[in-house]
């Protein structure tokens, strides 16, 4: 990876404030786990917490979420990518950046840049460098302090999605081969960002996954 490109990125610097994200394929437990750390941060660390999901999180972003996840035709990977980036830029501008200026605030994101790297960069084949290049300017160049990548197998994801029993969206109706590429893609991102992304075995019970996340979080947030 080109080090000059990685140098374009930054993390928020407000004292006591943190930017966190959750990543992983459908059913990996992102929504379950972020609720767990939200209550820890509010009750035990007395932080102001903002939880947001991608794509979406703003009125404009929710419209884009509809456009992407509700699409009945296959979109070109670059079209997909630019829709996600538009939603993300607006979310950063309207919500994330202003909130992170407040001391002792924490923003927790349910999916962020690593989703674009894994889905459009690796599974759809645009490449990691292309995606990072598109993120190099303000406000898109903001990286989380920590990203929890919840790692599960294809089989586990399918089982949990079946149990949840919702109608499949645009990405969920992809072929198994696409899902495997996504899993491999996420796993390979941990070596590009070894200090930021923490891979967690999310095939165990929610309690065990939660414990591992909390033990890491306690080291970051004193």
- Fill in the per-residue mask, 135 to 164: x = in contact with ligand ADP (CB under 6 A), - = not in contact: -------------------------x--xx
Cβ(112)–Cβ(24) below 8 Å? no
CB of 3 to Mg ion, least distance (A): 34
Contact partner at residue 49 from Mg ion, ligand ADP, none, CB < 5 to 8 Å by partner kind = none
Task: Return phi, psi of residue 155, to 5°.
Answer: -65, -45
- Strand duo 48-53 + 197-201: pairing: unpaired
**Residue that is written with structure tokens 């079209």 in the block:** 79
**C-beta closer to ligand ADP: residue 132 or 186:** 186
The one of ligand ADP, Mg ion, none whose footprint includes residue 24, by CB under 5 to 8 A per kind, is: ligand ADP
185-214 binders of ligand ADP (CB under 6 A):
202, 205-206, 209
The residue among 48, 69, 54 whose CA lies nearest residue 21 is 54
Structure tokens given for 156: 């586990």
Give the Cα separation of 52 and 58 in Å (integer): 9
User: Nearest approach, Cβ of 198 to ligand ADP (angstroms)?
Assistant: 16
Please give the DSSP secondary-structure letter assigned to residue 117.
I
**31 makes contact with Mg ion (CB under 5 A):** yes
User: Which residues of this chain interact with ligand ADP, rule CB under 6 A?
Assistant: 24, 26-32, 160, 163-164, 202, 205-206, 209
């Amino acid at each position: 990876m080109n080090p000059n490109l990685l140098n374009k990125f930054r993390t928020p610097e407000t004292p006591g404030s943190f930017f966190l994200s959750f990543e992983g394929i459908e059913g990996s437990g992102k929504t379950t786990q972020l609720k767990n750390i939200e209550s820890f941060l509010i009750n035990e660390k007395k932080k102001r917490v903002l939880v947001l999901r991608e794509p979406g999180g703003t009125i404009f972003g929710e419209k884009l979420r509809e456009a992407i996840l509700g699409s009945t035709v296959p979109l070109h990977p670059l079209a997909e990518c630019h829709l996600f980036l538009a939603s993300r830029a607006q979310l950063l501008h309207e919500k994330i950046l202003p909130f992170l200026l407040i001391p002792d605030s924490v923003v927790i994101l349910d999916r962020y840049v690593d989703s674009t790297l894994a889905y459009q960069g690796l599974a759809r084949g645009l490449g990691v460098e292309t995606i990072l290049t598109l993120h190099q300017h303000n406000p898109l160049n903001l990286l989380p302090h920590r990203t929890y990548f919840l790692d599960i197998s294809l089989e586990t994801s399918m089982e949990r999605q079946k149990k949840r029993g919702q109608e499949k969206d645009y990405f969920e109706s992809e072929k198994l081969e696409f899902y495997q590429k996504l899993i491999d893609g996420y796993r390979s991102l941990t070596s590009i960002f070894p200090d930021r992304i923490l891979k967690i075995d999310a095939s165990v019970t929610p309690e065990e996954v939660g414990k591992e996340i909390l033990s890491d979080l306690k080291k970051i947030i004193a």
